């Protein structure tokens, strides 16, 4: 339940940043949008985010056409990494096999640049 609430709240923060933070908007315009999602490996908890300069939409599940997916072994691992979404935390998770990146790693770099502005 904590992870579901955290992912919903992340969507709220993204939408708020788009409205209130010019640096976030500028970065998103340069990227021309990003579609990404977060899920546990067993897909019991999954949420996607479609971000463009015109708006951000979010919903349950993981569509197949996402640019980037972050898959976590379990909910506890996801919460631990998402509390401090640093590059080091993601790399450590990937090295230990608890975090899996599906998609292009350059999209992950773009996402981290955006998340700095939250």
Which domains can be identified in the chain, with CATH numbers?
2-115 (3.30.1050.10)
Q: Bigger pLDDT: 13 or 118?
A: 13
Please write down the long-range contacts of 48-55, taking CB distance under 8 Å and 24 or more positions apart: 49/10, 49/11, 49/14, 51/14, 51/18, 51/114, 52/28, 53/25, 53/28, 53/29, 55/15, 55/18
Average pLDDT of the chain to the nearest whole number: 90
**Which pLDDT score is estimated for 48?**
96
pLDDT of residue 113: 85
Beta strands in the chain (DSSP E): 34-40, 46-52, 55-60, 68-72, 99-103
Q: Which of 88, 91, 86 is nearest to 116 (CA)?
A: 86
pLDDT digits (tens, 9 = 90+) for 25-74: 999 999 888 999 999 999 999 999 999 989 999 999 999 999 999 999 99
Q: What is the pLDDT of residues 69-111, one digit of tens each?
A: 999 999 999 998 888 877 788 888 889 999 999 998 888 888 8
Q: Tell me the pTM.
A: 0.88
Q: What is the spatial distance between Cα 38 and Cα 55, in angstroms, rounded to a whole number?
A: 19
The pLDDT value recorded for residue 116 is: 84
Amino acid 39: pLDDT: 95
Three-state SS across 46-77? Answer: EEEEEEECCEEEEEECCCCCCCEEEEECCHHH
């Amino acid at each position: 339940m904590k992870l579901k609430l955290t992912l919903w709240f992340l969507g709220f923060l993204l939408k708020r940043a788009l409205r209130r933070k010019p640096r976030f908007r500028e970065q998103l315009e340069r990227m021309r949008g990003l579609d990404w999602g977060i899920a546990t490996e067993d897909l019991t908890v999954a949420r996607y985010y479609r971000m463009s300069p015109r708006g951000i939409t979010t919903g349950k599940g993981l569509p197949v056409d996402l640019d980037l997916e972050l898959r976590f072994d379990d909910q506890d691992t996801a919460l631990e990494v998402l509390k401090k979404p640093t590059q080091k935390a993601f790399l450590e998770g990937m090295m230990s096999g608890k975090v899996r990146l599906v998609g292009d790693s350059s999209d992950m770099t773009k996402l981290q640049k955006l998340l700095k502005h939250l």
